[in-house]
């Protein structure tokens, strides 16, 4: 791929997931004008990783599961792509002095290490791994401030807020309003959700995403995690964050300023737009996303969330207010609960109940270290494994 000297060298962590693949589409569309793929990583989907590496010819390909390293080395022999493995490989690729930007598209707590390494080295981070901020928001933001590493959110709501914040000064912000599609079970009652199957929960009305985030969207845990993410990312007071249900997923979030004016960002639901915004930031470039078609009637609806049917949302607000170790506990408990739900071990409504039980048991610490958070993460997973209805 042709590449100008000024092209930003981009590393994509989690390149075989839905956001990772979309990031590669954005880089491919740019055709080397501004962006060049410098490295990619995947965990177990090694065949797809090797295929991506053959297509883009990056400097590095990292297979984080060492069990598959040999296969990737064989696949890429003679290609000029250097194959690294394990977490050390991720750190080396991310911290390579030639790396300019790192898109962190790994799902779950597994994304923390690579994000941390990128911030430590002062790289611009296009942050698609919300769990990093849910777990360790204050520590992550302090590290970014210390090294001067910019964090540009890729989560569509946070990208919208980031863009809308440019309309005023920080002291002029009254509140931010995160929009939620309401997920596939909007309008249902609790009684109606007792027998929900993983297949039903995996059928999202507006967004096509991986299984973990799709289940999180059905429980509204995704919005709960995003509330926590927003607090740390934008350094907001707990009372400044609200959630509104907006089924069309066209308005991606809003910022209200002190004078009552509200600035929103609108676009069709397509992750490539916020990814492109972050990778090109501060430039805006023509890209793959289409605009909104206003030649046809377009209705936009807003309604308050149903907190009784979706109690996960309240957990997010609680954890956001508490800070400390609470986010790491909720995040880890939820990851383990989603895994158990997908395996058929617990029911849909148990996800929030089990998370609540683990949160209530945990020994809260307001100022944990990173190691303390990792220990809390492991503890919460074990507790959730043991949880019984
Ligand atoms: Mg989102």
Q: What pLDDT digit, counting tens, does each position of 166-178 carry?
A: 999 999 999 999 9
Q: Are residue 184 and residue 132 in the same domain, yes or no? A: no
Would you say residue 4 has pLDDT above 80? Answer: no
User: 157 alpha carbon to ligand 1 midpoint, in Å?
Assistant: 5
- List CB-based neighbours of ion ligand 1 within 5 Å: 155-157
Please tell me the distance between residue 4's alpha carbon and the centre of ligand 1 in angstroms.
33
Q: How far is the CA of 6 from the centre of ligand 1 (A)?
A: 31
Instruction: Give residue 252 CA to ligand 1 midpoint distance, Å.
Output: 8
- 189 and 203 both lie in a single domain: yes
Question: Is 323:317 a contact under the CB 8 Å cutoff?
Answer: no
CA distance 129 to 110: 9
Distance of CA 222 from the midpoint of ligand 1 (Å): 7
* Mean pLDDT rounded to a whole number for the chain: 95
Is residue 196 domain-shared with residue 304, that is, in the same domain?
yes
Same domain, 146 and 222: no
Which pLDDT belongs to residue 291? 92
Residues 77, 119: one domain?
yes
Does residue 349 have a cis bond before it (omega within 30 degrees)? no
**CATH at residue 144:** 3.40.50.720
How many Å lie between the centroid of ligand 1 and the Cα of residue 205?
14
* Integer Cα distance of 106 and 373 in angstroms: 18
How would residue 5 be classed by pLDDT, with cut points 50, 70 and 90?
Answer: low
Torsions phi, psi of 177, nearest 5?
-120, 110
> Range of 188's domain?
158-278+287-323
> How far, in Å, from the CA of 303 to the mean position of ligand 1?
18
Determine which helix (DSSP H) or strand (DSSP E) holds 24, and give its type and residue range: helix 18-30
Domains of the chain: total: 2
- pLDDT digit string, tens, across residues 31-80: 999 999 999 999 989 999 999 999 999 999 999 998 999 999 999 999 99
In a domain, 357, yes or no: no
Domain contains 219: yes
- Pairing type for strands 262-266 and 251-257 reads antiparallel
Co-location of 170 and 26 in the same domain: no
Q: Is residue 311 part of a domain?
A: yes
In a shared domain, residues 163 and 63: no
């Amino acid at each position: 791929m042709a590449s100008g000297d000024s092209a930003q060298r981009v590393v994509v962590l989690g390149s075989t997931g839905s956001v990772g693949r979309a990031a590669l589409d954005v880089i491919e569309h740019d055709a080397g004008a501004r962006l060049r793929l410098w490295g990619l990583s995947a965990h177990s989907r090694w065949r797809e990783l090797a295929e991506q590496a053959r297509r883009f010819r990056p400097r590095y390909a990292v297979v984080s599961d060492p069990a598959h390293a040999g296969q990737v080395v064989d696949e890429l022999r003679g290609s000029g792509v250097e194959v690294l493995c394990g977490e050390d490989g991720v750190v080396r690729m991310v911290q390579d002095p030639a790396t300019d930007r790192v898109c962190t598209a790994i799902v779950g707590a597994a994304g923390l290490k690579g994000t941390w390494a990128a911030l430590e080295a002062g790289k611009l981070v296009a942050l698609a791994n919300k769990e990093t901020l849910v777990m360790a928001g204050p520590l992550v933001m302090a590290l970014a401030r210390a090294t001067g590493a910019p964090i540009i959110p890729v989560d569509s709501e946070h990208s919208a807020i980031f863009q809308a914040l440019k309309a005023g000064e920080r002291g002029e912000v009254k509140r931010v309003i995160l929009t939620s599609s309401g997920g596939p079970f909007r309008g249902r009652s609790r009684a109606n959700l007792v027998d929900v199957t993983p297949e039903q929960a995996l059928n999202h009305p507006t967004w096509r995403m991986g299984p973990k985030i799709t289940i999180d969207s059905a429980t509204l845990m995704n919005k709960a995690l995003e509330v926590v993410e927003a607090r740390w990312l934008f350094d907001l007071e707990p009372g400044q964050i609200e959630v509104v249900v907006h089924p069309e997923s066209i308005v991606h979030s809003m910022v209200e300023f002190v004078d009552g004016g509200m600035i929103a960002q609108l676009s069709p639901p397509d992750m490539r737009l916020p990814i492109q915004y972050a990778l090109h930031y501060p430039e805006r470039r023509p890209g793959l996303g289409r605009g909104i078609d206003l030649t046809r009637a377009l209705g936009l609806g807003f309604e308050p969330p149903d907190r009784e049917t979706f109690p996960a949302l309240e957990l997010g607000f609680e954890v956001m207010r508490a800070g400390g170790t609470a986010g790491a506990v909720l995040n880890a408990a939820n990851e383990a609960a989603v895994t158990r739900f997908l395996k058929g071990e617990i029911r849909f409504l148990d996800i929030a109940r089990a998370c609540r039980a683990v949160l209530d048991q945990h020994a809260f610490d307001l100022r944990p270290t990173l190691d303390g958070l990792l220990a809390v993460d492991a503890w919460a997973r074990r507790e959730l494994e043991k949880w019984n209805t």
